Amino acid sequence: MKRFPVVPARIEFDAQGVPHAPDFGDVYHARAGALAQSRHVFLQGNGLPQRWRGRPRFTILEAGFGLGNNFLATWDAWRADPERCARLHYVAIDLHPPRLDDLKRAHAASPLPDLAAELTAHWPPLSPELHTLPLDGGRVLLQLAWGDASQWLPQLMLEADAFYLDGFAPSRNEALWSAHVFKPLGRLAAPGATAATWSVARPVRDGLRSAGFEAERAPGFAYKPEMTRARYAPVFVPRRTAGHPLSAQVAPDAPRTALVIGAGLAGAACAQALATAGWQCTVLERHLEPASETSGNRGGLFHGVVNGQDGPHARFNRAAALLAQRSYAPLIAAGRIPGQLEGLLRLAGADADLQAMQALASAQGLPLNYVQALTATEAAECCGLPLREPAWFYPGGGWLQPGALVRHWLDRPGITLRTGVLAHALQQLDEGWSVLDARGQEIAQASAVVLANAGQTCTLLEPLLGNTPHWPLGQQRGQVTIVPGETPGLQRPRIPVAGGGYALTLKDGNLVCGATASLQDPDPALRDADQQFNLQRLRRLGIEVDAEAVPLSGRVGWRTLADDRLPVVGAVPVPGASAQRVRDLPRLPGLYVCTALASRGIGWAPLLGELIAAWASGGPFPLEAELVESVDPARFSVRKARKAQAGAESEDGA
């Protein structure tokens, strides 16, 4: 999917405060009232709130988010309904989203002030992503895709129960009512899905019918005598491939129970996301305490990424960083976990060209509240260190204590933690999975199992899958150094700084720096040579420490990483299966992995948890299909199959 910079909406307000879009020659809502129009056209037009009652989840897809009035009306109706669904998913696309100032002005006199305030407080950057916003304590999940609907719709992974079609008039915004938009709706529709729009234009009704909907006219709102409503009733429903993520969910009628193996960042993130989605989770940890391995470090960084290609790695990291910021900000602000979210600097290199950095960010449409290019002087003033090179400043970056985050996530309803339990083997049942100990005795069973136990993931899978998978995972030893805060003359950064190493100041004033990286190195002891290596890296940041005069301490841990430096997250492929596409590789039902977090566990964890919850529950996914496939464990088998086919074709050609 090609990304384009987001062009914000140009909005004008008339004397009555009604917002206009001069570029489209249209208004954002009827003068009779935005909420009244939303309730009549989109809620009543889709049979709401009646249709969501008693359901565990209800998903709405909107084309044309605008100022969010339809979302606010839906959210308000959901909150007011005592028989509402347990969780409301609302996914919306908009090519020209409003700037935050315009959104606040539009809702300054909102009849739903609390909901409008929460929406504006969580308003994401206008970068070309699928932004995930957990609202209402996580019971409402709003996903906003900024960009062209014809590009986003084929990439969305969900089953929509209702469609809101609310673009500007077809005569003024033809692209949003084209066949390229209507065609994917049938693929995204759940059985019995409905659709509604205020428009009765012939191309709209024809487009819905071409996507498998039966469309009809209904009484309209205010000055419009008629509107359109529709129900999905296709003559033929194409079957999804066995490996499609929406086909790999736990059976809808199975108990919502899950076993998560591993109580580090990965396991805790998966457990809290599943519990938020209504699952009962049991977390099994082989150590006596959670976060006993690498997640037990005193502090770790989280931030985004910028690179020239803006490929899957950069885009995945950007999506993860934005969700991490939204997840961690309230926890750090409330003092629930030690940390700091006041920005992070990443050195760009002594030969970096500031103008080229700024041009790169502009070309990729990266807003200033995501990343800024700073001169060496600006960067030095920002962190209080004598830096000598330009740097990227990530306003949403920072640091936190991972162990505290793990304990916070695990301490919530729906999660049971069992420590000192070593999972030795897995056994597939008729309806779910059983985890066994070394004597073959059952530890627990559930409908789903999530392997989030880092380097032991493949060890558990090998007996089950017959010495597969052959995933290219490695173990990397890392040693961090802690410099006492009372060290005379110690310069400590006001915000974390990274670049060929990193430095952050803990709440107690101590300085953490590091980290070394050596593959297949099992030595658990602190090494003087590694301490010296970390101190040498500090000099690039302008920090001098005399190791002979300072009592250094530190910690050793091991990171699991894949050869492509992306995590491994998703449903486990069936052993021995082969396919040319990731989505075609069949999966073992109810068995998922979340591993290879490398050195980015803190920044990735919230997104990985949401990914696992989407795999197990059947979406909506918090990433577009391309990025889901880029971290899917099936990618390794597909690469192997493609390589084999390419070799065979080469031999045939010879």
pLDDT at 653 over 70: no
Which of 232, 262, 277 corresponds to the end of one domain? Answer: 232
Using the CB atoms, write b or e for 210-222: b if 16+ within 10 Å.
Answer: ebbbebeebebbe
Chain centre to alpha carbon of residue 391: 26
Whether 268 maps to a domain, the answer reads yes
Cβ atoms of residues 341 and 332 within 8 Å? yes
pLDDT at 575 over 90: no
pLDDT at 654 over 60: no
Give residue 651's pLDDT band: very low, low, confident or very high (50, 70, 90). Answer: low
Cβ atoms of residues 193 and 163 within 8 Å? yes
Confidence at residue 632, expressed as pLDDT on a 0 to 100 scale: 97
What stretch of H or E contains 645? helix 635-653
Whether 338 maps to a domain, the answer reads no
Whether 286 maps to a domain, the answer reads yes
Whether 94 maps to a domain, the answer reads yes
**Whether residues 265 and 217 fall in one domain:** no
Q: Out of 370-374, 380-384, 464-468, pick the least confident.
A: 464-468
**Whether residues 287 and 434 fall in one domain:** yes
- Residue 198 three-state SS: coil
Chain centre to alpha carbon of residue 241: 24
CATH label of the domain that carries residue 251: 3.50.50.60
pLDDT at 111 over 90: yes
**Whether residues 18 and 101 fall in one domain:** yes
In angstroms, rounded to a whole number, what is the distance separating the alpha carbons of residues 124 and 131? 7
CATH label of the domain that carries residue 95: 3.40.50.150
Confidence at residue 645, expressed as pLDDT on a 0 to 100 scale: 75
Picking from 361, 368, 398, the residue whose alpha carbon sits closest to that of residue 383 is 398
- Could you give the strand order of the β-sheet that contains 339-340, starting from the edge strand earlier in sequence? 300-302, 398-400, 339-340
What stretch of H or E contains 590? strand 587-595
pLDDT at 487 over 80: yes
Confidence at residue 172, expressed as pLDDT on a 0 to 100 scale: 80
**Whether residues 130 and 197 fall in one domain:** yes
Token pair for 185 = 């709706």
**Whether residues 198 and 281 fall in one domain:** no
**Whether residues 188 and 258 fall in one domain:** no
Whether 517 maps to a domain, the answer reads no
Percent of the chain with pLDDT over 70: 98
pLDDT digits (tens, 9 = 90+) for 416-443: 999 999 999 999 999 999 999 999 999 9
pLDDT digits (tens, 9 = 90+) for 495-514: 999 998 999 999 999 999 99
**Whether residues 255 and 220 fall in one domain:** no
**Whether residues 96 and 215 fall in one domain:** yes
Whether 556 maps to a domain, the answer reads no
Please tell me the total count of domains within the chain.
2
For 446-494, the DSSP string reads ESEEEE--GGGHHHHHHHHHTS-----EEEEEEEEEEE-TT-TT----S
Average confidence (pLDDT) over 615-620: 94
**Whether residues 137 and 181 fall in one domain:** yes
Whether 460 maps to a domain, the answer reads yes
**Whether residues 156 and 57 fall in one domain:** yes
Confidence at residue 644, expressed as pLDDT on a 0 to 100 scale: 78
Token pair for 407 = 């304990």
**Residue 407: half-sphere exposure toward Cβ, Cα within 13 Å:** 13
Residue-range definition of the domain harbouring residue 125: 12-232
Whether 118 maps to a domain, the answer reads yes
For 99-135, the DSSP string reads PHHHHHHHTTT-SSHHHHHHHHHTPPPSSSSEEEEEE
Check residues 466 and 286 and name the one with the higher pLDDT. Answer: 286
**Whether residues 42 and 98 fall in one domain:** yes
Which of 232, 254, 271 corresponds to the end of one domain? Answer: 232
Q: What is the mean pLDDT of the chain?
A: 93
pLDDT at 99 over 60: yes
Chain centre to alpha carbon of residue 616: 15
Confidence at residue 14, expressed as pLDDT on a 0 to 100 scale: 83
**Whether residues 145 and 266 fall in one domain:** no
| Cα→Cα distances 509→332, 483, 491, 646, Å | 17, 9, 11, 56
- Residue 521 three-state SS: coil
